[in-house]
């Protein structure tokens, strides 16, 4: 009987999808060790599942201390694969593994922030020592393949697409009452959960809200890191639906808030990955409206599990909100389609299966 695959995964604070994938691979017999932040819910979940864990916080992108720590672990045990899941892990891990015979895997979850003209990129995703880069969506893979010029490009087999899978059971339990956010009973609720940075297109959504006919019983819950920034507050104050727009920063219980919302909008302008907030919304039956940006159209099937609209345009968002507000049968059909889409096509078991197949393919080549 051949020995199990020995994999060291190095990460910052693991998210639910990453943690779930690590646990599934451990169940499948992979000899997986995870180096990640201690004192977090996900770290505790890994330990409870019996996954060997190394508590460590990477303190910099190129830290001699971190490089020595990772290298000591690579020397301690004959690993087959070093899987690095964020920028700090990748840059430190590439240096830590110099001279060692193992396969190197990185991860890319956002598009458009890599260029051959950036010297640091050669120490990161454009490093020729990388065997594979797991891209969270096909749009990111295609973006990486399009970089550079003849003679200076990634090998075509380096970027691969593996969607992050989820498990609806992770979000079981009581949902949150929306009245705590100032939203009355029986209101039609449109949510947006995103970081309040320019590329997320929040001003476009606010303009779409302003275009709605007056007097509709619609409330809007906008939440996320930097969502309640001064620019957004100013735009909300000038909006015809200002009294119905509820603006918050990061809300930890958002996955249990979204099931009580009717629609989730992500108006991204560019560089979108595979949006976790939309996945969480779809799991709860909230109908998504996303833009044709990055991995969003890979997640949402237009007219089956939600709607896809052009980026940067307000009126299509207005039209789709009105369509769902006025046609509750359509809303119900798309709500069911959204839940089915995640349950069938974005499972954590499939993510783990594809990742293990990638490991074996690299080692066989």
CATH number of the structural domain spanning residue 355: 3.40.50.2000
208, part of any domain: yes
| Between 1 and 126, residue with greater pLDDT | 126
Domain assignment of residue 316, given as a range? 169-345
CA 111 to chain centre: 12
pLDDT at res. 153? 87
Q: For 167-200, give one letter per residue: b (16+ CB within 10 A) or e.
A: beebbeeeebebeebebeeebbbbbbbbebeebb
CB 281 within 8 A of CB 264: yes
CB 346 within 8 A of CB 299: yes
pLDDT at res. 1? 42
Q: Are residues 95 and 237 in the same domain?
A: no
* pLDDT tens by residue, 286-301: 999 999 999 999 999 9
SS3 180: helix
Q: Are residues 296 and 354 in the same domain?
A: no
pLDDT at res. 116? 87
pTM: 0.95
Q: Are residues 174 and 106 in the same domain?
A: no
pLDDT at res. 149? 78
CB 40 within 8 A of CB 13: yes
1, part of any domain: no
How many distinct structural domains can be found in the chain? 2
Nearest-10 Cα torsion for 350, 251, 53, 4: 0
* pLDDT tens by residue, 209-262: 999 999 999 999 999 999 999 999 999 999 999 999 999 999 999 999 999 999
Q: Which of 174, 163, 191, 186 is nearest to 299 (CA)?
A: 163
Whether pLDDT at 113 is above 90: no
| Between 95 and 113, residue with greater pLDDT | 95
Note the helical H segments in the chain.
Answer: 16-27, 41-48, 64-76, 87-96, 138-145, 202-210, 230-237, 254-257, 276-283, 296-299, 314-326, 328-345, 348-364
Q: Are residues 291 and 150 in the same domain?
A: no
53, part of any domain: yes
Averaged pLDDT of the chain: 96
* pLDDT tens by residue, 37-54: 999 999 999 999 999 999
* pLDDT tens by residue, 147-156: 987 778 899 9
Whether pLDDT at 2 is above 80: no
SS3 94: helix
* Tokens representing residue 168 in the block: 């609806």
pLDDT at res. 39? 93
pLDDT at res. 119? 87
Q: Are residues 320 and 205 in the same domain?
A: yes
């Amino acid at each position: 009987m051949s020995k199990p695959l020995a994999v060291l995964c190095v990460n910052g604070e693991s998210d639910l999808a990453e943690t779930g994938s690590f646990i599934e691979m451990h169940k499948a017999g992979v000899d997986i060790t995870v180096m990640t932040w201690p004192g977090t819910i996900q770290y505790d979940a890994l330990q409870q599942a019996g996954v060997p864990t190394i508590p460590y916080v990477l303190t910099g992108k190129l830290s001699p201390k971190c490089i020595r720590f990772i290298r000591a672990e690579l020397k301690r045990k004959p690993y087959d694969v070093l899987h690095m899941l964020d920028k700090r892990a990748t840059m430190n891990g590439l240096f830590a593994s110099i001279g060692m015979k193992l396969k190197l895997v990185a991860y890319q979850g956002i598009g458009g922030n890599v260029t051959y003209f950036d010297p640091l990129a050669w120490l990161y995703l454009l490093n020729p020592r990388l065997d594979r880069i797991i891209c969270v969506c096909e749009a990111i893979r295609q973006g990486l393949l399009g970089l550079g010029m003849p003679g200076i490009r990634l090998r075509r087999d380096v970027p691969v697409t593996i969607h992050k899978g989820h498990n609806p059971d992770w979000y079981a339990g009581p949902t949150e009452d929306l009245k705590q956010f100032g939203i009355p009973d029986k209101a039609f609720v449109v949510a947006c959960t995103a970081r309040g940075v320019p590329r997320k297109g929040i001003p476009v959504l606010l303009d779409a809200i302003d275009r709605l006919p007056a007097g509709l019983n619609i409330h809007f819950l906008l939440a996320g890191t930097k969502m309640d920034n001064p620019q957004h507050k100013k735009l909300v104050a000038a909006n015809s639906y200002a009294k119905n727009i509820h603006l918050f920063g990061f809300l930890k219980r958002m996955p249990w808030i979204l099931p009580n919302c009717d629609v989730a909008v992500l108006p991204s302008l560019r560089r979108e990955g595979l949006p976790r907030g939309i996945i969480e919304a779809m799991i709860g039956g909230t109908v998504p409206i996303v833009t044709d940006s990055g991995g969003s159209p890979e997640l949402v099937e237009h007219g089956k599990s939600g709607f896809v609209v052009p980026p940067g345009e307000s009126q299509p968002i207005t039209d789709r909100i009105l369509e769902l507000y006025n046609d509750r049968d359509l809303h119900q059909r798309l709500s069911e389609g959204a839940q089915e889409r995640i349950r069938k096509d974005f499972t954590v078991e499939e993510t783990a299966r594809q990742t293990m197949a990638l490991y074996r393919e690299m080692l066989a080549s």
